Structure 1
């Protein structure tokens, strides 16, 4: 029966019946007995009980020509002698017998001789049982056991896929291997448990790091099942206690890697999940290497589907790690992970409203841009991010239940950490403002947030988590009409964040602009609209977020309606450039986006006073609209 991950402590040892089943797998052939020689082991106490087995073993190791039947009989006799000696207390001298006849070495030779591309006999399975028998009577020294483990794993892990093998024989062989590992682990004396575990895991992890996916999967399954065996033994303490931190981290990361890379079936996936549950329950032991685990999660979250079970497993580990080591986790995300996301941005077009009349007025709302005031260089020279992985992690960490306020307290400590501030090139007095962004927007919190100089400096930092916190603060401020003036002074820097091409940042920036435009009169909103409209056009085709596509279109409509009549001429160029992207979005797979694009396209037709386009848009006949725009030469470059 397939062993399942234990749900509660219990003794999980079961007698292995594979040795009885193996004989039925072999074709009946004539047995060629090894000619008996004068035995050397008459002195051995177990000799009187198992004379035939002892004699055969001695004859076998002296004979250089061995067929499959002799190999099987040799392994069977090793099991018989060791089992009888243990059961009847006849262990005296057995270590000398095993050493003289090099039983461990002979078993290793048998395993090495097995073909790597097929599995037709039960030799491997019987060899695992023989190793188990040797371990129960301590008849193999440490080095010999290590070599036996290597030979066993090489013999099995690099076999072809399961479906290309004899399924029954393969399953029985793996069952015998798991039985062997359990016996090696609990073999006497009891004080050697930790040492045996280190030895087994050291060898298994070598294969878990293999480039061969099947070998990696098979090695990890052995680790998972061994974990289940240890966890189910009521007299054993938590598994992680016996391992060194690098071993624990390696097992967790290799488990996630195996889930990512290998096509593991549902039963094996249950074992992988069980391993992660063990690590999460004892996160203080298993997740100690915070930065290493976070970097792994970051690198692999970029490769996993947002709805996949794998991604859920990643965030399960992230949640446990953050709860256990919040300060280290927050510090790592602020200082280490952003560098993994960076890339040099593409420049926005230098034609259209960006160079036209009215842009200068909006850009210089406060006289100087944030980059000039902070001495950080122009925005075009900064490094930007397209990937939102760091912010995925950051938001997941900050969204954990905060009933105890632990995360908020640790965030405050991290933002005041001189090492963190040094890496961000700011003073602690500036970062103290960021903690307010995570608090409830009370009157006092909002009043303390109204520090334009500090907000301006923080907006200029090349750090997505910091930028997200600043924009969160600006969203809170922009919701209050009496505080819009403070946010209005920062709009040029907020506008620059659209270059980050990051969904989380863009959504926050759009909210700020929506709120501000909603509070201002046309005379104040008009210069902002002229400067912002061009920046919204690339967002119509955002490939990641349908929400960004829809909101950017609707904001574009609000901007058109915010322009005073004597500035509409400056706006028309940008509106014409928006027509083709809006037309394409009328076929968007997200229904709300398609509907929004039709609404905004109609608003554009009215703004331009193009009656025929207005009529065609109302019919939503995409092909006729396209033909009309084509005749007018309304291409994206016009």
Structure 2
């Protein structure tokens, strides 16, 4: 019924020109109609401005005002003022909200409208502003704040520059009343009203800039940062033509308010978004200069907020503005001032380094991984238009490493994250990973390192960076080429790497450590190596897969550097290298400088790696320990060597053939290093290691060191009395393993240490069975110990070792006289009869049958 009534009013008014009698029926009751419309509006919810009834009521009022023979315009407008005032008063405690709703409707009519409409709308705002100063029931509260203050002040101040004098006057009057109302609401501030009289405001209209200064003096104590942001946004939007206001005043408003305001992240983002959206349409020089100053002012005070906001506005810098993109134009504004450029570059580096794996939002606002992609793209665009080369040069090490880490991050992006960032770049040939690599290339070329770029390309380094499988290889290639840069730059990169690695961060620590370890090949960084020595212990205990072994390779480089160890050239294949290419232990004494001894602080941490769960770490630790032993002196040397020898014994049976070989070789070296009173203890450890060394003469791993003559297939009776075991060893003759060769050499050294010439002779010819017999013949009391040492080898994954262990146990059984000991031998052999290998089980069965009569 309400809508029908309002629609009928509109219909009557629209037919007046054709039938005047219709209007005569309405003319004498139009005041009642207006009052009825007012009642209908009062019944509408005050928090909903766009209800159908409210819209239809406004249309009815407009239709009545446009009808001929109606009330005069002044009477109609007066009626409208009365109606609006009634709406505010009737809202009760929600009066402030209703007031703001009305202002929200009226403000659009003050711009981009015919001059008469602007004037009438401004008059309504002024009349309403005057009314609210006399309405005692209208009060703001904590729950109902006057949030439209900034928007009103902005619009009214700009309207004071309109061409129409009446509109300017109404705007000044509205500002005066608005100020009075705000002071009334904040009486606790005790602001004297006479300082801001209406006459004084009128006098200020003579000049635009004094007007702005006066307005800000009026409201400066009441404008919150959010209000100031509203004014700035209104002013920025007024900079694009056609504008009903003074562009000069709007520019000055932006300048003044942006200088001294305190904004939050979201407010800075709103300002940047508004600039970004309106910049393509702003052509006036004074306006563009104002935006330059605003961006620089905001950057100076809020660099992180500005950078984050710009990245969110255009992650891929694609929106066109002439020959450049809008974002690139804004970035160039920011980089036009050296101090601002320095701050922005630091913020971009911070974003590149901020890779929280826990944040995986599907929007650019919350996802640091996507923002870092945007930062990478931005850096590329900025470097293509170099305006800040000096600032880039000052932080080149940090920027270079941040981009390198970004390449690593990009290889780990999910498909969803790639699509989020790259949806604007479907036509671009660069994928995110290629874009990140391109940024590195552009940076190096811009800073004059074209030769390094070409060298990395020739070695396939750039392509290697694209894949997760070859990424670290690409990092090594890049690091090797960067080692050819001037020493000050190498030093800066090395120092920054050490600084970064001083705090563990799983997102980039592996790449950083690979680069740092590669740089240890620089022979002129010796005075800076203390920083590496401080961080290595933390990463030796890292849970990151592959990190301990990587650090150990770095420590090995330290011990072999020319300025650390004299007597050999780094990189040469001398005695420190295995024939197959593996790093082994130095055989000769080396003359060491004091600098080399600093690495000994890492000795306890390196020894811990012998118990590591990673075979690579165990293998990498052994050569390092060999070099460190050479640096020890006096009692410390012998004590540490004995301790190490004890830890090496379990590694003889390691699952890794490399670890077995290197541990045996290092054990051999420990025999040669112990001197003085500690020799007796070393001999005991050597005696306890003879059986494992003998058994490993039969080791058949895949690392072939040499091809000895085939072992003759002799009957077992030729080696064992009484025709024992006619079964030949599994596999017969053929190639032997590196562990076999290491065991053979270790047994020779053991014979020399024990002064047992026969052992040296037998070991030199690899007569394992004869060595077993000699061990029992030399000391029968240790037969039981030998039995216990053989037992674990029955579980060896190598068939050869299990077979030899059964043979040795049978030989030991011949030396046993007590029934209890024979029972244990028989029990062990009975278990061996269940072996999956027919050869091993058959030999165990034969041995049990031979030993049974003795039992």
Q: Same fold (TM over 0.5)?
A: no
Tell me which structure has the larger Cα radius of gyration: 2
> TM-score with structure 2 length normalisation?
0.36
